[in-house]
A and B are shown apart, each in its own frame.
Chain A
Amino acid sequence: MGKIGLIIKREYTTRVKKKSFLLMTILGPILLVGFLVGAIWLGQQEEKDLEILVLDDTYVLSNTLLQSEKYHLTSSQDEDIENIDAGKTFLKETDQYDIFLYLPGNIVSGNASVGKLFYKEAPSSNVQRHLENIVDGSIERLRLKELNISNEDYARLKNKVQLHTIDVVSNEEKNVGMRAGVGFIFGLMIYLFIFMYGIQVMKGVIEEKSNRIVEVIVSSVKPFELMMGKIIGIMFVGLTQFIIWVMLSLALTTTLSLTVFPDLMSPENVAQTTQVEQVAVGVTVEPINTDITETGKEFQDLIFNQIPWGLMIGLFIFYFIGGYLLYGSLLAAIGAAVDSETDTQQFMLPVTAPLIFAYIVAAMAIENPNSAAVEWCSQIPFTSPIVMLVRVSMGAEGLGWAIVLSMSLLIATFIGTTWVAGRVYRTGILMYGKKASYKEMFKWLRHK
C-alpha cells in the first residue's frame, strides 16, 4: 500500500470507529424516517371535535350553516346571548365552547366579508379554513336562491380546469414542481455533505497543525499527499455514511410500511398529507376522493416512472465527489493557514457564501427551473453541484451538452483549487504564530 493509502486508511478508520459516527449513522435514518412517519401520521390525525358558538347578526345564515361530525355549531340564541361582548365573556368564563364565531350583519352583502373567530386555544389553520368554507357555502346558497339559480346550473358554472404539463420532446406528461422538488432534495443532500465533511477536513488539518504532529508526518510524506489522503479518507467516510443512511432508511420504511402502518405509506396517504385540505365549497360537485387518488397516482408515477433515477444517482455521486473535492480542498487550505479554529472565520465566509447562494438558487429552482439564474448556476462549478440536479430531475433530454460542460468545468476547477490548496497547505502547516493574510497566502503560491 502506498503512503497515501496509509493516510486514507487512517483518516477513514479513526473516524468510522468513533462513537459519534456510529451514533449519527444509526440515528440519522431513524430520525429521518421517524420524522416522515410522524408527519404523515400527524397529518392523518383527526382533530378533536369542536364546540362552536355562533352569533349571527344576519339572522339568516346560522340556519343554513352545515353541521358536520367534528364541528358542532350552536346558535347564540340557544344560550341567550345577544351581543358580541356577551359571547366573548361566555366563551371566556365557561368551558362549554372552544370557539366563538361572530358573523356581522353585513357579511352577506359584500364580496370580501369579514367575520370574527374568538378562541381560547388558537385553532389550526385547517379549522379556520373549514369554518370559512362553511360560511362561504351558506352565503353562496343564499345568493343562489336570491338569483334563482338551480343547483344543477351552479354545478355547470363551477368549472375546474387542470393543466397537464407535457414535454414536447419526450411527449411525456410531467409534474414539473414535484420533480424539481426531488432534484432539490438531492441538491440539499450534497449541500449538507459538503458542509459536514468539508468542515471535518478543515478541523482535521487544524488538529494536525496545532498538535504539531504534522512536522513528523511531512518528513515521511509530501504535504500534498497528506492533504489529499485526508480529503479522500474523509470523502469515503461521507460515502459510507450516506450509503448506510440510504440502506437503513429504505429498510426502515419498508419494514414500517409492511408492519406497523400498512397503508400509511401508500401513495394515497402521502398525497393526502401534501394536499392538506380539500373541503368542497358549497355544493360539492365532484367527490373529493377522486382528486386525492389522482394526486396519489401522479406521485406514484413521479417516483417510479418520471425521475431518471439511474442518471440522477450517477450524477449525484459525481457532483457529490466533485463539489466535496472543490470545497474540501479550499477548507483544507484554510485549516493550514490558521493556528486555531477561532481564526477561521475571516476565511470561511468567501468559501461558504457561494455554497449558501447555491442552496438558495436550488430552492428557487423548484418554482422556476428554467430561469437564467438556474442555468448559470448549474454551470458555475462553485454552485453546480447543488443546482444541476434540480435541472436534471426535470428531465435530462436536451441537457446533454449542459451536463457535460458543467461536469468538465467542475473537474477543471477542483483540479485548480486542489493545486492552489496544496501550495497554501504546504507552507501554511509549518507556519506558527503568524496570522496569515490573503496577501501572504498569495505569496505562498509562488514559493518553491
Chain B
Amino acid sequence: MTNETPIFEAKNIVKEYSGHRALDNVSVKVPKQSIFGLLGPNGAGKTSLIRIINQITAPDSGEILIDGKPLQREHVSQIGYLPEERGLYKKMKIGEQAVYLAQLKGMPKKQAKQELMLWFKKFEIDTWWNKTVDELSKGMAQKIQFITTVVHRPQLLILDEPFSGFDPINTNLVKSEILKLRDEGATIILSTHNMGSVEEICDNIALINNSKKILGGKVSDVKEQFSEEKYIIEFKGTGVAFANAVWGGWEMVNNKQLGEHHAIATIKLTRGTQLNDFLKGIINSVEIQSVNKVIPDMNEIFIRAVENKSIDKEEVVNENTNQDG
C-alpha cells in the first residue's frame, strides 16, 4: 500500500460492555478514496466499531485517527452515517427533516436546501418534499435516508447495509452514486452481508468475528490468500487417460463429462506439485483446451474464515496486518 496517510485508522481498539468484550484489540486502516468492506457475522462487533467512529460511544482503549489526527467532535461534519436500522420522523415533512439533519451536520440552512433539491431531483423524488414519511413507501424512505447521509459531502461515509430494502434498479442507482462519491474523493466504509456487492465494489476488507479482526487487506490479496491449488482443466480425451497420466501429487475434486471425449476436471495439486509439471504429465495423454485457477468468492471466504479460524489462520491475520502497516 502507498505511504499516503490513511483517511481512517483504528489502532488496537478495545471496547467492553458489562463483562462482554465487543471489540478485542481491533486495528483497521482505510486508505483514502477507497471502498472498504467491514464484514463479519451478526454480533461480531461491527456496530460497536461503527458507533465508536461516530463518537456515539468511546473505546475503552485504543485510538482512532481521521486523516492522521485523533478523532474529535469537529469530525462529525466530515462523517456521514447510514445506520442499518433506518428511521425518520414520521410526522415531519421530508424536506424539513432532511434540512434539519443536514444542519445538525453543520451545513448552513440555505446551502442544505439547495443541495438537497439537487439530490431529490437526481433520485426523482423532488415532488415529495412536503410529504411526510407516513405517506412514503419503504424504498422512498430509504432513498431519503441515503441522501441525508451524503448531502453534507462527508470525507468518510459509513454505510451499514446500504442496499437493503432497494429494488434492483435503485440498488444500481445507489451503487453508482457510491462509486461516484468515491471518485469525487470520498472514502466509504461499507458494512454488509451482501458478499456480491463486496466483490463488486470493495477495494479492501476487514473481517471481524467474535470481537477480533480475523482477516484483512486488499480484496484481491485476500482471495489469493484463500485460493488453494485448485484448477479447472477442460480437455479432449478420456477420463481414464487423464487420471492415469500423472501418478500422485494431485487429487480429482470433480470430473464432469461433457461428451464422449470431452470433459472438465477440477483438480487439486498436493505435496507441492507445480501446475507446469502436472500439465507436462497430462499433455501427452489428453488435449488441453483451457486451464483456469479456481478463485474463491467472498461468500466462500467469509464462511471458511468464520467457521474454521484455526491457529494457522490467526498467523495469516498477523502477517496480513503487517502487510497493511
Interface residues of A (CB under 8 A from B): 3, 6-7, 10, 14, 207-208, 211-221, 223, 430, 443, 448
Please report the C-alpha to C-alpha distance between residue A226 and residue B148 in the assembled complex, in whole angstroms: 18
Let me know if B83 and A221 touch, CB within 8 A.
no
Please report the C-alpha to C-alpha distance between residue A7 and residue B100 in the assembled complex, in whole angstroms: 9
Asked if B175 is at the interface of the complex by the 8 Å CB criterion, the answer is: no
Let me know if B87 and A214 touch, CB within 8 A.
yes
State how many angstroms separate the Cβ of B317 from the closest Cβ of chain A.
Answer: 28
Q: Which of B88-96, B117-125, B295-303 contacts A (4 or more CB under 8 A)?
A: B88-96
User: Which interface residue of B18, B87, B90 has the most chain A CB atoms within 10 A?
Assistant: B87
User: Which interface residue of B18, B58, B148 has the most chain A CB atoms within 10 A?
Assistant: B18
CB-nearest residue of chain A to B148: A216
Let me know if B87 and A215 touch, CB within 8 A.
yes
Q: Which residues of B contact A217 (CB under 8 A)?
A: 101, 104
Let me know if A216 and B18 touch, CB within 8 A.
no
Please report the C-alpha to C-alpha distance between residue A186 and residue B55 in the assembled complex, in whole angstroms: 44
Let me know if B87 and A448 touch, CB within 8 A.
no
CB-nearest residue of chain A to B102: A220
CB-nearest residue of chain A to B101: A216
Q: List 26 A-B contacts (CB under 8 A).
A: A3-B104, A6-B100, A6-B103, A14-B91, A207-B89, A208-B89, A211-B87, A211-B88, A211-B90, A212-B87, A215-B56, A215-B81, A215-B85, A215-B87, A216-B81, A216-B148, A217-B101, A218-B54, A218-B56, A219-B54, A219-B76, A219-B83, A220-B101, A220-B104, A221-B76, A223-B56
Please report the C-alpha to C-alpha distance between residue A39 and residue B56 in the assembled complex, in whole angstroms: 56
Q: Which residues of B contact A208 (CB under 8 A)?
A: 89
State how many angstroms separate the Cβ of B157 from the closest Cβ of chain A.
Answer: 12
Let me know if A10 and B100 touch, CB within 8 A.
yes
Asked if B305 is at the interface of the complex by the 8 Å CB criterion, the answer is: no
User: Which interface residue of A212, A214, A220 has the most chain B CB atoms within 10 A?
Assistant: A220
Please report the C-alpha to C-alpha distance between residue A219 and residue B89 in the assembled complex, in whole angstroms: 16
Interface residues in B125-178 (C-beta closer than 8 Å to A): 145, 148
State how many angstroms separate the Cβ of B130 from the closest Cβ of chain A.
Answer: 13
Interface residues in B56-74 (C-beta closer than 8 Å to A): 56, 58, 60
Q: Which residues of B contact A3 (CB under 8 A)?
A: 104
CB-nearest residue of chain B to A443: B18
Asked if B79 is at the interface of the complex by the 8 Å CB criterion, the answer is: yes
Q: Which residues of A contact B85 (CB under 8 A)?
A: 212, 215
State how many angstroms separate the Cβ of A12 from the closest Cβ of chain B.
Answer: 12
CB-nearest residue of chain A to B77: A220
Q: Which residues of A contact B145 (CB under 8 A)?
A: 216
User: Which interface residue of A213, A219, A443 has the most chain B CB atoms within 10 A?
Assistant: A219
Contact pick for A216, options B55, B58, B60, B87, CB 8 Å: B87
Q: Which residues of A contact B103 (CB under 8 A)?
A: 6
Let me know if B83 and A216 touch, CB within 8 A.
yes
Please report the C-alpha to C-alpha distance between residue A213 and residue B103 in the assembled complex, in whole angstroms: 15
Please report the C-alpha to C-alpha distance between residue A215 and residue B48 in the assembled complex, in whole angstroms: 12
Please report the C-alpha to C-alpha distance between residue A448 and residue B76 in the assembled complex, in whole angstroms: 20
Let me know if B81 and A448 touch, CB within 8 A.
no
Please report the C-alpha to C-alpha distance between residue A220 and residue B103 in the assembled complex, in whole angstroms: 9
Let me know if A430 and B51 touch, CB within 8 A.
yes
State how many angstroms separate the Cβ of B71 from the closest Cβ of chain A.
Answer: 13
State how many angstroms separate the Cβ of B75 from the closest Cβ of chain A.
Answer: 11
Please report the C-alpha to C-alpha distance between residue A430 and residue B51 in the assembled complex, in whole angstroms: 10
Please report the C-alpha to C-alpha distance between residue A443 and residue B16 in the assembled complex, in whole angstroms: 13
Contact pick for B88, options A7, A213, A221, A448, CB 8 Å: A213
Please report the C-alpha to C-alpha distance between residue A218 and residue B105 in the assembled complex, in whole angstroms: 11
Please report the C-alpha to C-alpha distance between residue A3 and residue B73 in the assembled complex, in whole angstroms: 12
User: Which interface residue of A14, A212, A213, A221 has the most chain B CB atoms within 10 A?
Assistant: A213
Asked if B280 is at the interface of the complex by the 8 Å CB criterion, the answer is: no
